[in-house]
Amino acid sequence: MILTVTLNTALDLTYRVRSLRPHASHRVSEVIERPGGKGVNVARVLAALGHEVTVTGFAGGGTGRGVRERLADVPGLTDALVPVAGATRRTIAVVDELSGDTTQLNEPGPLIAPAEWGAFLDRYEELLAGASAVALCGSLPPGVPVGAYANLVRAARAAGVPVLLDTSGEPLRRAVAARPDLIKPNADELAELTGSHEPLRATQDARRRGAHAVVASLGPEGLLAVTPEGRWRAAPPARVLGNPTGAGDSAVAGLLSGLVEGLTWPDRLTRAVALSAATVRAPAAGEFDPAVYEELRGRVAVTGVVSAA
């Protein structure tokens, strides 16, 4: 079983409009609702790839009930979310059909009480006992300690469970020092962590700070991986237009499934890039187009990287 942790779960709403214009009224052509938050998106992709996956984190209020009802419809996915008094947040993606661009609005999430945090920690320890790998994903809701991910990384390592971390800011900085097996920042998050805007140099520095391996997301340019086994760049054959919401989460699912299956790093990166691009092409946040995924798998370019010139 693969475990994904989403401390700030969400109900993802995708609105499609003909053309998004400031200060104007818009007619929405389509509305799609999906359970979301980074780890939930990762879990749905893992389940679609055939893995048994368990989701934990927090859910509360009417929005939380909606998230749990929708998760119950996902084959291969087990809901182990911890109930809280506050309402689960919503995220809203507005897709401009004319330009292909997406505007994202993210609510902050519910206030987590100390007793609720303690209940989550107990659940997490129980779930680690049956996990083959764990993904710690996304932002922290109000009330959760800023060092939360560092503690969760240490607990996973103590249990002998490989741990992937995908977060940003101060939670990332603290958790890297706890030595996660893999982190997957984007270019901005990597620069904030290391102070360097040169991707390879920043990725190498992130490893020196404690991460066993680092895979940096470079947007349309694909992924850059620095690992003990080597350094690679992986890129899609061409720029993919669409809704990028959840594309990074699909990349995490590709990397984590590859780890569990024992794939080589180039094969993990190929899967991650193809899944990410297929997610951009999908109509709703946090899903991927299987036909696009299969078509792209054979066209992702993976090349070795020698040095940070």
| Residue 309: predicted pLDDT | 41
Q: What percent of the chain has pLDDT over 70?
A: 97
Q: How far apart are CA 296 and CA 162, in angstroms?
A: 28
The residue behind tokens 């998760």 is: 71
| Residue 286: predicted pLDDT | 63
Does the structure show a pLDDT above 80 at 210? yes
Tokens of 37: 């938050």
Taking a C-beta distance cutoff of 8 angstroms, is the pair 263, 224 a contact? no
One-letter amino acid of 226: V
| Residue 292: predicted pLDDT | 82
Q: What is the pLDDT of residues 24-58, one digit of tens each?
A: 888 988 888 889 899 999 999 999 999 999 999 99
Q: 249 an active-site residue?
A: yes
Taking a C-beta distance cutoff of 8 angstroms, is the pair 268, 254 a contact? yes
One-letter amino acid of 220: P
| Residue 185: predicted pLDDT | 95
Q: What is the pLDDT of residues 247-291, one digit of tens each?
A: 899 999 999 999 999 999 999 999 999 999 888 877 665 678 888
User: What is the DSSP annotation of 181-217?
Assistant: SEE--BHHHHHHHHS--SHHHHHHHHHHTT-SEEEEE
The residue behind tokens 């993976």 is: 302
| Residue 243: predicted pLDDT | 67
Q: What percent of the chain has pLDDT over 90?
A: 67
Q: How far apart are CA 53 and CA 116, in angstroms?
A: 23
| Residue 284: predicted pLDDT | 63
**Mean pLDDT, rounded, for 9-30:** 89
Q: Which of 78-87, 110-119, 269-278 has the lowest mean pLDDT?
A: 269-278
| Residue 306: predicted pLDDT | 66
Q: What is the pLDDT of residues 159-208, one digit of tens each?
A: 999 999 999 999 999 999 999 999 999 999 999 999 998 988 999 999 99
Per DSSP, 88 falls in state P
Query: 182-183 and 213-217: which strand pairing?
Result: parallel
| Residue 285: predicted pLDDT | 57
Q: How far apart are CA 121 and CA 115, in angstroms?
A: 10
Q: Which residues contact 214 (CB under 8 A, 6 or more apart)?
A: 182, 183, 184, 185, 190, 203, 204, 206, 207, 225, 226, 227
Q: What is the pLDDT of residues 131-170, one digit of tens each?
A: 999 999 999 999 999 999 999 999 999 999 999 999 999 9
Of 182 and 109, which is predicted with more confidence? 182
Catalytic residue among 79, 166, 181, 249: 249
| Residue 245: predicted pLDDT | 74
Taking a C-beta distance cutoff of 8 angstroms, is the pair 77, 172 a contact? no
Mean pLDDT score of the chain: 91
- Cβ of 153: how many Cβ atoms within 10 Å? 26
Does the structure show a pLDDT above 90 at 302? no
Q: Which of 2-6, 19-23, 133-137 has the lowest mean pLDDT?
A: 19-23
Does the structure show a pLDDT above 90 at 294? no
**Mean pLDDT, rounded, for 218-241:** 87
pTM of the predicted model as reported, rounded to 2 decimal places: 0.90
One-letter amino acid of 61: G
